[in-house]
Structure formats: C-alpha cells, structure tokens
Amino acid sequence: MTELQLACALPPGPAFADLAVLAESLGYARVWINDSAPLWEDPFVHLALAAERTTRIGFGTAVSIPTQRSEMAMAASIATVARLSGGRLRICFGTGFTARFAMGQRPMTLDALAAYTRAVRGLLAGDTVVIDGKPARMLHYAGLTAPRPIDVPLWLSVFGPRGAAMATEVADGVIGHVHPSLPTATMVAGTVLDPGESPTDPRVLEAIGPCRMPRWHSAYAAGGPAAVDALPGGPAWRAKLETIAPQAERHLLTFEGHHTHLTDRDRGLLAHIDTTAMVGDRDTLRGELDALSAAGYREVLYLPTGPDVARELRAFASVRG
C-alpha cells in the first residue's frame, strides 16, 4: 500500500506565504491553494511568493476554475510558478461550484472542463492548439519562461462515473472519490483536541465552524430555499440572508466567509455542525487517516480553519508523528 501523503489547503491571502513556510517546516508534502476569485486574492501571485521562500514543499491549486482565466493566461501562470518553484507545482481544475455560484452562474460542464484541460496541456507541451477557432501557441522567447515542454501534472476535481471516465482520458490524478486507475486525493477539515477538551468546547467550534458552513452555503446555492430549509437551522439561516438582500443579489451573500470566517448568521448554525469527523485526539485522527489510506487515497488535503490556522497546522502535523 502506497504511503498516504499529508498536505494542507489554504486560501490565497496575506498570510499564505508565511503559512507555506510553516507547513514546509512541519513536514507537509504539499500546500494547495484555493482559487475562487470572488472570495480571495490571486493564487498564482501567492504561489510565486511562497515558491521564493521554500525549497522542498510541493504546491497545488485546489482548484483552478477555467472560466476565471483563458487557456493561454493559465498556461503562462503555470509556467511562471513551475519555473520559480523548480518544478514543484501541480494543478487541479474543477467546474467552479463555489466560484461560479458566488457570481450567480452555474458550474461549467464536464465537456468544457475536458476541452480546457486538453488545451492547457497542449500549450504547456509547446504544441499549437485551437482556441476560439484560431491556432495558438506559447510564443515566449527562450529565457522568458520555462522551456517547453513544461511537465506539470494536471489533475481534475470530479465526482461520479462520468467525471471519473473523463479523468482517465485527460488527467494525471483526481481530487474526489477514489479513482480506479489514477492517484486520488481528498480534502478533510477538523481539529486536534487538546487534553481534556470536548468537541463542543468554544475553541473547537470556532476552529471547525468555517469549514462546516459550506454544507448550508452549497445547499442554498445549488438547491434553493427548499434544500437549505431541509437542513437543521436552515430556515432561520435563510431568513436572515433573505431579509438583507433582494432575490437577484442573494448569491452575493451566500458564500460570505466561506472556509475562513463565521458570519453572524452562520454562528446560529454552530449548534448543528458535525463535531465528529476529523475531530478528536491524535490517536483517533491517526485512525481516520489510516482508514483513508486503506480506502485507496494517496494524499489528504487538510483544510485548517478558525482564528489560529498556525495552531491547526502544527497540531494536525503531529498526528503523523
């Protein structure tokens, strides 16, 4: 059985490079950066800054959204960070659930995701590809970026049989359910309990609260009032949101604080969040990681949240010894 790699996932922002340096010192295999333009800063800028300050840790995007950058802009960004990091980069593309719903749009189709991935792979290889009906190629002169071909693994975040089949054709790995033939990673969130601490203690709720709220955010964005009302605390959460924004602008509030902060209306849901998954002492969490490894996962992306992300990174790294 292949050893499970422990990675972390962080949003792009002022603390990213410092936290990447910390993650490297703690032994994390990779730091993945989130990429939702309505919520966070530019991930490739922060990857470049972190690459300059680290030597070993790998980098990844979790996940890059094709509609946020043209194929050529994406290829140029990848080439830049691949050069600065000495080849430590991995890219994962997704359909843009959060990023697109936060702008009032539906996620892109799997077919569009596959076409984009193929085009970016071709550009990085130095090939001529067709973009918007015209031939295109990376024209960077020698010395202006990494020489082609640029070997950067391209992963996909996909779920379901159709996505898995498509990944077999166009991807080097998957974030999602265990794939039958490709290396697979999964994202987890939680906190390591201090001795004598309870899963419902205030520190714990503050730490895991932001990473539990997407259950309600996503239900409302994708399924509307009926979907979120079916969740515990959902009707009250929805009522607070809908009283402060007209229907046409409610998507602008749905993902406020997504994975990073608790809004006042989110705090009303703390009594309903899951305080069991990846919440426990070191032995308990070690067992959960072992179960993921036994299930076939190659890498775990730990998403630390709450007011003290550095504490969460240190504590979770200690689970692996």
The mean pLDDT value for 178-202 works out to 98
CB atoms within 10 A of CB 217: 22
Residues 246, 136: Cα–Cα separation, whole Å: 43
Confidence at 199, pLDDT banded by 50, 70, 90: very high
Residue 172 has pLDDT above 90, yes or no: yes
Residue 1 has pLDDT above 70, yes or no: no
Per residue in 263-304, pLDDT (tens digit) is: 999 999 999 999 999 999 999 999 999 999 999 999 999 999
What pLDDT is stored for residue 320 in this prediction?
86
Confidence at 184, pLDDT banded by 50, 70, 90: very high
Tell me if the domain spanning 5-194+277-319 has CATH number 3.20.20.30: yes
Confidence at 53, pLDDT banded by 50, 70, 90: very high
Domain ranges of the chain: 5-194+277-319, 202-272
Confidence at 56, pLDDT banded by 50, 70, 90: very high
Q: Is the C-alpha dihedral spanning 312, 316, 317, 321 positive or negative?
A: positive
Distances (CA, A) of 18 to 25, 191, 238, 309: 11, 20, 36, 11
Per residue in 88-140, pLDDT (tens digit) is: 999 999 999 999 999 999 999 999 999 999 999 999 999 999 999 999 999 99
Residue corresponding to tokens 């292949």: 2
Residues 308, 312: Cα–Cα separation, whole Å: 7
Q: Strands 191-192 and 154-158: what pairing?
A: unpaired
